[in-house]
Amino acid sequence: MSNLSLPFAPLLSPTKARRDAAEARDWAYVSSWLAKKYSPHPVPKFERNGETLRTLLELAAVNEAADREADLVHKAEEEELRTYENIFQTREGPHRDVVEALEGGLDERGSKALHDLAEASVILGTLSTDPVMMGKRIMELSHEKFEMNEQLRRVNDLQSQLVREMESMRLDLENIESQVDEVAQEDMEQRTAQLNRETKQFSTKLEQYIERIASLEKFAIVSPSIAEVREQEQRVKKGQARVKALDRKIAEFHGLPPDLEIAKMEYKRAQGELQGLTRRRDELFEGMVES
């Protein structure tokens, strides 16, 4: 009965487990992105820490956003080029005959110049080959390109700001969760220590009662009252068996659930059983003394 004290072991923090899982997913994403960028060469070795991970995540986000924007621009240019090519190919009439006759009468250098002129007209988004119109369109495109670059810069700045704010919010959330875990773990440690003290006290008192019963049996005169003492001893032994069962249940507190509310409910249930056994023990001892 002297081994009823509960050894305390640190409780597993669910918040830390979630952080570790999220960090593992982030490293897997970063490793995949780096392998794709350095392929077919191996990724250079670098120190893996929290600061490096945050920097690589931000860099990967900005890089992928730029890749998506470049892909959209490329697709738009291809679509516009196909549109003008379809218009030119489906157009019937004297202009087509003139173009075919002109192409047939040009040498290689002239054909290349005509093709370059047509391609420039398509890229500029105008069907006219007038130098003034094409020059005007070039100026318009330059202005549009400048505006798009400015918009892209503002989007990149906004994205970088959002990444920084998200990282700051993530750190704040981790700090709050860590504080909650510390408070919950401290409360659980106090309750476990209190339960250990109560268990030790109960074990000491029970051993004292058993010793008293043994001394009464040793020095008692053989009479009908001995049978009553033996009966009381049997009851005490039954109580001892119940205490051992309680000891096994108390040992289960070593694996209390991480959830604080569930742990409180489990503790109150065990405390109620302990109080019931204590009252039963006192009643048995008082009945034995009175007899």
Question: At 55, which amino acid appears?
Answer: T
Contact 141, 124 (CB under 8 A): yes
Output the average pLDDT for the chain.
Answer: 73
Q: Between residues 245 and 41, which one has the greater pLDDT? A: 41
Does residue 252 have a pLDDT over 50? yes
Reported confidence tier of residue 222, pLDDT bands at 50, 70, 90: very low
Residues 6+ apart with CB under 8 A from 140: none
- Helices and strands: H and E segment counts in the chain: 7, 0
Question: At 92, which amino acid appears?
Answer: E
The secondary structure of the chain in percent helix, strand, coil, rounded to multiples of 5, reads 85, 0, 15
Does residue 66 have a pLDDT over 60? yes
**CB neighbours of residue 162 within 10 Å:** 11
**Proportion of the chain above pLDDT 70, given as a percent:** 70
Nearest CA among 288, 193, 182 for reference residue 236: 288
When mean pLDDT is compared over 45-49, 140-144, 187-191, 198-202, the highest value belongs to 45-49
pLDDT at 130: 73
Task: Compute CA 172 distance to the chain's CA centroid, rounded to the nearest angstrom.
Answer: 14
Does residue 242 have a pLDDT over 60? yes
Nearest CA among 35, 37, 27 for reference residue 57: 27
Q: Between residues 228 and 207, which one has the greater pLDDT? A: 207
> Which token pair is 263?
């742990």
Over range 123-140, report the average pLDDT: 74
Over range 254-282, report the average pLDDT: 75
Does residue 227 have a pLDDT over 70? no
pLDDT at 210: 76
Whole-prediction pTM? 0.31
Nearest CA among 205, 185, 186 for reference residue 197: 205
Does residue 219 have a pLDDT over 60? no
**Proportion of the chain above pLDDT 90, given as a percent:** 0
pLDDT at 6: 40
Rounded CA gap, 61 and 166, in Å? 12
Residue in the structure block whose two tokens are 């960090």? 23
pLDDT at 1: 41
Peptide bond into 40 cis (omega under 30): yes
Residues 6+ apart with CB under 8 A from 202: 4, 243, 274, 278
